[in-house]
Amino acid sequence: MDYATLYISDPSIIGSKVLDTMPEILSYNSKSDNHHVLGMTLRLKAANIDCNFMVNSELENHLNGLSNFVSGSIAEGVDLSYSLSRVSQVRMAMGCCIDPGFDSEGEILNFIKHYSRTLNSLLFYDSTLFDYDLQILATLK
């Protein structure tokens, strides 16, 4: 199992209007309790991706931690103010559990990157935060 997180500034665009345009997705379904949508499951040829929406009450603290990560791990040549501004615009964090994990052909990682670009989101995986255009903003490497 591998993990990635998408940090989304406009959560209204993560639904069927976008999902239906992505040919890699064979099917998808939402996960909810009686009152809230909790996430969704995406079924691809090579993996299932369980997408979990962070609870709003936890988002502020999580984003403070992400801002601290960015401040302490900014990539060379990247504008810290821009990176922190991008983080401040996040309205939803979507944690992705990828089962069985990233494949050796790179199909799943390419899908995650494509989805991130489509959502204009930040992408965190492998100890690295990427902008919507996949520029590295911050990394522990």
Mind listing the pLDDT tens digit of every residue in the chain (141 residues)?
Answer: 999 999 999 998 888 899 999 999 999 999 888 888 899 999 999 999 999 999 999 999 999 999 999 999 999 999 999 999 999 999 999 999 999 999 888 899 999 999 999 999 999 999 999 999 999 999 997
Domains held by the chain: number: 1
Q: Global pTM?
A: 0.94
Query: Token match 């603290």: residue?
Result: 61
Cβ contacts of 68 within 8 Å, gap of 6 or more: none
> Quick one: tokens of 122?
């930040």
> Quick one: tokens of 67?
């801002």
Residue 13's CB is within 10 A of a number of other CB atoms, namely: 13
How high is the pLDDT of residue 36? 82
* CATH label of the domain that carries residue 25: 3.30.310
Coil, strand or helix at 126: coil
Query: Token match 């999580």: residue?
Result: 62
How high is the pLDDT of residue 35? 80
Domain around 14: 2-139
> Quick one: tokens of 76?
């060379």
